[in-house]
Amino acid sequence: MSKNIRNIAIIAHVDHGKTTLVDNLFKQSGTVRENQRVEERAMDSGDLERERGITILAKCTSVMWGDTRINIVDTPGHADFGGEVERILSMVDGVVLLVDAAEGPMPQTKFVTMKALALGLKPIVVVNKVDKPDGDPDAATDAVFDLFVNLDANEYQLDFPILYASGRDGWCDDTLDGPRENLHPLFEKVLEHVPAPKVVTDGNADKPFSMLVSMLDRDNFLGRILTGRIETGRAKVGDAIHALSRDSKVIEVGRISKLLSFRGLERTPVEEAEAGDIVAIAGLQTATVADTIAVPEVKEALHSIPVDPPTLAMTFAVNDSPLAGREGKLVTSRVIRDRLMKEAEGNVAIKITETESKDAFEVAGRGELQLGVLIETMRREGFELAISRPRVLMKMDENCKKLEPYETVQVDVDEAYQGTVVEKMSLRKAELTGMVPSGGGKVRLTFDAPARGLIGYHGEFLTDTRGTGIMNRSYDRYDAYKGPIQGRQRGVLVANASGKAVTYALFNLQERGVIMIEGGDECYEGMIIGEHSRDNDLDVNVQKAKQLTNIRAAGKDEAVKLTTPRKLPLEEALAYINDDELVEVTPESIRLRKRFLLPHERKKAAKAAE
């Protein structure tokens, strides 16, 4: 049976077409009926995934091709969700690497591919979107080969098969001028180049049952659901099992109450599964990712891959603003703590630590997007939070020298803007490592930059390039600390009293800077209502109304017209604030505020910091 199983992961950069390709694999393999209504990008099941058009969580599915079942894992393309990718690669025996014909391999492709090559997996390269007007499939193929060489791929991996495809139109071929009919060549390449699970060939199929947990999920009826690939033996419903930690200590004892196998888009209950298959098991309450589930006679835990450490941290605190508790229902430190601990349980790339105050928690993760997605999810669940500015996590080497995380940054900009981008990046201590023309009057710039300097730069970058620039980042390494980096250039306008903002007051404040609220918005003392045009903070009165008299002059009372306020979305707000500021997040609002609301407290804190 296991000889008729193939386990593959589909890896690619953001927006290169993984999930769309999987949609067409479903249709052409007969997994979904021709008349069955299936939503576009069926694997992106979460609300945030659909809204943002990105994959956040790795998900398993399977299709039948002939008498072979192909288990497919759809992986996130963004480096911030790299923790999802690393742990699922241990479940598969091959990878399909999807590359955009126009863009070629991007920094985040490099990150995931490096992990796959290190495990000895041989990729099947699919050059997608070859029908794009600006596509250059040959250049993309050459760039993939160069990438593999740079990542120390062996000769077996460098002899990779290549397919040319259009995932949206549902075809792929061995050659560029092929018949372009269907995706059958991809299925055939998977059967030809991806080996059956090793456990069949090395005799492990007859050993006692053991499985390494790679993914964690929760079901309202079944409780905790643990997903992984069965390494040895067979699993049956009702079998006694125990969970072992990485150091082979017994964590928990229980029974398999439910055994689920992946069939298309559904998890189907089965009575038995064997070595090599990817399954989900219910019945344990505390076992988590990287633990080993096995029958009681197995005493040794399976080897699990250590996950790269978090590089960025934020403080999640109880919302203590004057407007706290008006819009959210979940506001206490206890429910915030429980929710964060539940998140850390299933997400191996996130670390939670309690602070001394007990009302705040330090949440460390891979990047601003990953933590931003967590905050957005929590606010939709009804939480109110006060979030601090992101900060990078430093390390010390054996000589007690400070180390900080560095990132590889790849930027595609019009030639007219490259000078501005290089200047701004150099101010943030980034070094230019590559510059090549990328066609259409654009230049591709590659930088080696400290992660610290990139916090808050993306919004400025879009302004500098008039919205035409594309920036991609991926974690590279820890290296020597580069010294202080200048932060935000401008100060902010701070409300000096509580109440509703008056349009007349905001109209007169427009000369002072960029306004971020509208007339009628609820404000409080210490709340940030705009950006000052100079580098200092300014306390302003947003409740100042027009003095009414009984004398009128022609033309003096036209309707006051405000310019459109600059409303910052969550990720931009987190990147915008300084260390002495917070983002107040509620289910209905995102507000910026000073950490200390009263002016004399801010002055006292500033003196103490000097």
Of the candidates 491, 450, 504, the residue with the CA atom closest to the CA atom of residue 580: 491
Give the 3-state secondary structure of residue 607: helix
Q: DSSP state, 81?
A: G
**Tell me, what DSSP letter sits at residue 89?**
G
Residues with Cβ within 8 Å of 476's Cβ and at least 6 positions away in sequence, in order, are 405, 406, 407, 408, 448
Count of CB atoms situated within 10 Å of the CB of 435: 12
Q: Please state, in angstroms and rounded to a whole number, the distance separating the CA atoms of residues 205 and 196.
A: 13
Q: Return d(Cα 575, Cα 433) in angstroms, integer.
A: 25
In the three-class reduction of DSSP (H, G, I as helix; E, B as strand; rest coil), residue 349 is classed as: coil
Report the Cα 131 to chain-centroid distance in Å.
Answer: 29
Provide the β-strand partners of residue 126. 98, 163
> What DSSP designation does 383 have?
B
Whole-number Å distance between alpha carbons of 275 and 528: 58
- Residue 280 near residue 216, CB atoms below 8 Å: no
Supply the DSSP string of 133-163, one letter for each residue. TT--HHHHHHHHHHHHHHTT--HHHHS--EE
| Residue 18 assigned to a binding site | yes
Query: From CA 550, how far away is CA 211, in angstroms rounded?
Result: 83
* Residue 16 is assigned to a ligand binding site: yes
Is residue 130 annotated as involved in ligand binding?
Answer: yes
To the question of whether residue 193 is assigned a binding role by annotation, the answer is no
The angle at the Cα of 416, spanning 411 to 417, to the nearest 5 degrees, equals 40
CB atoms within 10 A of CB 357: 11
Give the DSSP H/E element, type plus range, for residue 187.
Answer: helix 184-193
Question: Contact 278/91 with Cβ under 8 angstroms?
Answer: yes
When computed from its CA atoms, the radius of gyration of the chain, rounded to whole angstroms, is 27
- CB atoms under 10 Å from CB of 297, counted, come to 10
What's the rounded Cα separation, in Å, for the pair 538 and 535? 10
| Residue 198 labeled ligand binder | no
In angstroms, the CA 211 to CA 281 distance is: 10
> Whats the size of the chain, residue-wise?
610
Mapping DSSP onto H, E and C, the string for 541-602 reads: CCCCCCCCCCCCCCCCCCCCCCCCCCCCCHHHHHHHCCCCEEEEECCCCEEEEECCCCHHHH
Interatomic CA distance for residues 372 and 610, integer angstroms: 31
Residue 308 CB partners (closer than 8 Å, separation 6+): 82, 83, 86, 349, 366, 475
Bridge-based pairing of strands 162-166 and 123-128 is parallel
Binding-site residue ranges for GTP: 15-20, 128-131
Binding-site residue ranges: 15-20, 128-131
